[in-house]
Amino acid sequence: MELVCPAGTLPALKAAVDNGADAVYIGFRDGTNARNFPGLNFDEAEARQGIEYAHRAGRKVFLAINTYPSPAQWDKWCAAVDQAAGVGVDALILADPGLMHYCTQKHPRQRLHLSVQGSATNAEAIAFYARQFGVRRVVLPRVLSLAQVRAIIKRVNVEIEVFGFGSLCVMAEGRCTLSSYVTGESPNMSGVCSPAKAVRWEETPTGRQSRLNGVLVDSYGPGEAAGYPTLCKGRFAVQQNTNAAHDAELPHKPYYALEEPASLNVLDILPQLMEAGVVAIKVEGRQRSPAYVAQVTRALRAALDACARDPQNYKPRGDWLAALDKVAEGVTHTLGAYHRPWQ
């Protein structure tokens, strides 16, 4: 299995390559990709430098243009596709069907991957992108169980890449507009979720509160660790159930109604993913530091190598898990949707 690592900067790209990534994925410094954060990402010259660095080490570079351009943005997004093809990326990661069509017309030899934002969660949807645009690899949304991943791989003839580590989207990627509902900006349109400019921290007599465009996402007691107020990771309260027996099942105070702040970590099921025929494991986090990229890449490289050497006796080592937990969101990890009870 290929290890695909994130890079938001040239130093992060180098850290990924130096620590054993088989491929690094990057984005341009604008809204064309789903990690459109201030101070992050690559201009054309940096992309060229990064590709040269990776290619010299025998590694690949993928470039994500995985937001959905509006008509007003269309020309700029097409120009980004041209630019990516021009600098010689090994694959373009796209989500928008219109843009994929453009790419197949203009750059028929360009290798295409379907972004997780493309939201292909079943064999028929994957077949559509393969047939229509010649997509060679699909990144699966983080909504599938291991059994479902296995079933999909049996039915499709494109490569399947899955998320292995990083922040966890609890919603099907590409089909979540929670962020635009609250802030006007979403991953699909603007390449951001719960954008930092909409965040407000407030110290109150009862503790610290985090708000997103005025909406109270969470509040923390004294000494309680506070997390970034991503909308789906806030604590909220549910209404009562009119049926008393069922009402007794409900939490009667605010709780993580959608998802706890936790990182996805598939170290426990690497042999099963390999056996299922997964081609690549992806690490989330182009917004994270070069140190994060180095640490995660190193741990996953070691785990993947151990798994490839002897899948029968593979066991995640304590130091890998510790290294990953140290940089994990919420300092805890989960198998997410791969593990059916999580669902």
Binding site, annotated residues: 169, 176, 193, 232
Binding characters for another protein, 51-90, by CB under 8 A (x = yes): -----------------xxxxxxx----------------
From the CB of 95, what's the least distance to another protein, in Å?
A: 8
Task: With beta carbons less than 8 A apart as the criterion, state whether 258 and 233 touch.
Answer: yes
Task: With beta carbons less than 8 A apart as the criterion, state whether 6 and 15 touch.
Answer: no
243 burial type by CB count under 10 A (0-12 exposed, 13-18 middle, 19+ buried): exposed
Given 161, 259, 284, 329, the residue binding another protein (CB under 8 A):
259
Binding characters for another protein, 273-312, by CB under 8 A (x = yes): ----------------------------------------
Task: With beta carbons less than 8 A apart as the criterion, state whether 216 and 197 touch.
Answer: no
CA–CA gap between residue 183 and residue 190 (Å, rounded): 11
From the CB of 176, what's the least distance to another protein, in Å?
A: 4
Touching another protein, residues 176-215 (CB under 8 A): 176-178, 180-184, 186, 188-189, 213, 215
Q: Which residues sit in the known binding site for [4Fe-4S] cluster?
A: 169, 176, 193, 232
- The neighbour count for residue 311, using CB atoms within 10 Å, is 13
CA–CA gap between residue 85 and residue 237 (Å, rounded): 48
From the CB of 324, what's the least distance to another protein, in Å?
A: 22
Touching another protein, residues 132-151 (CB under 8 A): 132, 142-145, 148, 151
From the CB of 19, what's the least distance to another protein, in Å?
A: 31
Which amino acid is it at 230?
Answer: T
Touching another protein, residues 101-130 (CB under 8 A): 101-102, 118-125, 127-129
Q: Does 236 bind another protein (CB under 8 A)?
A: yes
Burial readout 271-303 (b: 16 or more C-beta within 10 A, e: otherwise): bbbbebebbbbbbbbbbbebebbbbbbbbbbbb
Q: Does 165 bind another protein (CB under 8 A)?
A: no
Which one of the spans 21-29, 33-41, 233-241, 307-315 is the region binding another protein (CB under 8 A)?
A: 233-241
- The neighbour count for residue 169, using CB atoms within 10 Å, is 23
